[in-house]
Structure 1
């Protein structure tokens, strides 16, 4: 008697493939592929394939399917670094929201290499991404040329450019409000420790906002410095500044820089905030855990990622989206800043 081949005897199940489906249905592999990609298949053949899929529990690979389709459901996301709180939280927001909207995210990490960033734009476009999101630190002529060449919907996060849609944090007003906060606590000898002005949002706008605040008071001595984003570099910069300037407070362009300053102050035998105040920007989770807790301008990165996900999908469907969307912030007051006015009483 002829024995029927059952699915478990053919090695089918969770790891079944298109070839397995074709064998069980008695059709060509290309016919199964055509069916899965929405092509024309006869009614009888269609029923055989559907029966085989039902028996094996086969689940199509949506990534592979999307790459074969004329229109994909994958959003290419270019990120300069993965070891950044801001980047990771933004990516979490993007990923969670895109999944809810039946889209997927493909991440390209460039390790802060401009050359790799430009390569990634072309590479993602060649992989037929539906759209591209760039967590940008700077926008160069090369970026603009690449975006114009690939002709794929693009959304910038963190930086803005008049030719492209962007979602930015309110860096200028965060800098201004931080300046007002520090001045309101009585600090007048201030070191502002920023970053390169190639980064418009962090390096320029936060500093511009802070400068506007200090222009509103008299008898204020402020010196502006630059360092790198990493904690060890900020620590080294802070030690030099402490020795040459001895500020009463450091206003730091990021929370990482602020943590470098805290380390430098301890190594110099200083106590925060008794001997010197410190503030940051970002609102990283660790700023609440460390002692003293860091006063900071908190940005809502995860929520920004969620909003960016909704916006890129709107762009894919050619629906109207604001050219520039500004994410909100909040000044979080913790123990790293003293009230000098109260201390003088």
Structure 2
């Protein structure tokens, strides 16, 4: 491939003149511009995107960090991000932290060094270490899923949804409601959803058995194991289960079905996430749709706005949700 230096030699002009012609800058005569462009066209010269990015400081690339790349939630978020960014001429680079805080910090540093124009982080928590690293960034940043105090973010009504689902089960006649959650270091999914459950049980003056509450990983396997522990170690068996994600709920359903419990006759189950799998399991899962695609679109638009205006105020977006009633209750 021909270089700018070689084009300059063939046109008998300086390399700086060739650069001005290619970038459509002023201060070049029509005669010189025509001569240079003729050589460019003949040799099908394509400018280096990396060199262009270094020169203009506009790589048109956004770094996106996800906790897991294989989940349906992540896929929907990325679809929303990519849809909005692509329509504005941006591309994305994906990285997965595997739910590891140190990996999130590592990718923040890596993307910053790779000339991306902005970073979107679907964070697993809001630890002091992560917040400090975000403060060091000199490029636009947007969080998804967690509330970052001094940054733009897009998140969900986690506490309100947990209260709503618990109240929903109570209104269906259930008083003994078990809970399957995740580590409370994940403030949004772990802490806020558990607090919503606990507060609602207390508001209705209902019993809370410690043996009914299990927290662990996001895996379906943990949902299975948690349900087993709840059923085997509780003197008084629950009649309903609130799982903080569809995957955990489906794992719990697997244990119950293996052990000949009837859903919802013996136990009702609800999840959060509106996963496609939840629609096709038997019985189909009652759940909440957070509209993850919209979260991706909103985050992408926020990052574009921050790139265009470095002094724009941080925007905090909390998305609406909807209950999807199916057959598991």
Name the TM-score, length of structure 1 as normaliser. 0.84
Following TM superposition, by how much is the alpha carbon of 1:204 offset from its aligned partner in structure 2, in angstroms?
Answer: 1.0
Residues in 1 aligned to 2:19 and 2:85: alpha-carbon distance in whole angstroms: 26
Residues in 1 aligned to 2:227 and 2:15: alpha-carbon distance in whole angstroms: 65
Residue equivalent to 2:113: 126
Cα deviations by residue, 1:202-237 (Å, 9 ceiling, x for unpaired): 001112222333233244445322121011122112
Return the match for 1:306 from 290, 297, 300.
297
Residues in 2 aligned to 1:25 and 1:185: alpha-carbon distance in whole angstroms: 82
Does the Cα contact within 8 Å between 2:8 and 2:15 map onto a contact in 1? Answer: no
Cα deviations by residue, 1:79-136 (Å, 9 ceiling, x for unpaired): 1210121111111110110011122212222222222211111111112221111110
Residues in 2 aligned to 1:89 and 1:277: alpha-carbon distance in whole angstroms: 27
Residues in 2 aligned to 1:180 and 1:87: alpha-carbon distance in whole angstroms: 28
* Structure-to-structure mapping, 1:72-221, within 5 angstroms: 72-221=59-208
Residues in 2 aligned to 1:128 and 1:237: alpha-carbon distance in whole angstroms: 44
Cα deviations by residue, 1:8-44 (Å, 9 ceiling, x for unpaired): xxxxxxxxx4549956993599566665456678444
120-129 vs 108-117, which moves further: 108-117
Distance 1:78 1:63, change over 3 A: farther
226-235 vs 33-42, which moves further: 33-42
Does the Cα contact within 8 Å between 1:66 and 1:74 map onto a contact in 2? Answer: no
222-231 vs 188-197, which moves further: 222-231
Does the Cα contact within 8 Å between 2:49 and 2:59 map onto a contact in 1? Answer: no
Distance 1:239 1:67, change over 3 A: farther
Following TM superposition, by how much is the alpha carbon of 1:325 offset from its aligned partner in structure 2, in angstroms?
Answer: 0.7
Does the Cα contact within 8 Å between 1:192 and 1:224 map onto a contact in 2? Answer: yes
Return the match for 2:321 from 320, 325, 329.
329
Is there any run of 5+ residues in structure 2 with no aligned partner, and where?
Answer: none
Does the Cα contact within 8 Å between 2:4 and 2:15 map onto a contact in 1? Answer: no
251-260 vs 98-107, which moves further: 98-107
Is there any run of 5+ residues in structure 1 with no aligned partner, and where?
Answer: 1-16, 338-345
Does the Cα contact within 8 Å between 1:97 and 1:306 map onto a contact in 2? Answer: yes
* Structure-to-structure mapping, 1:171-320, within 5 angstroms: 171-221=158-208, 223-245=212-234, 246-318=237-309, 320=312
Name the TM-score, length of structure 2 as normaliser. 0.87
**What SS class does the counterpart of residue 168 from structure 1 fall into?**
strand
Number of residue pairs aligned between Structure 1 and Structure 2: 321
Residue equivalent to 2:10: 26
Residues in 1 aligned to 2:73 and 2:59: alpha-carbon distance in whole angstroms: 28
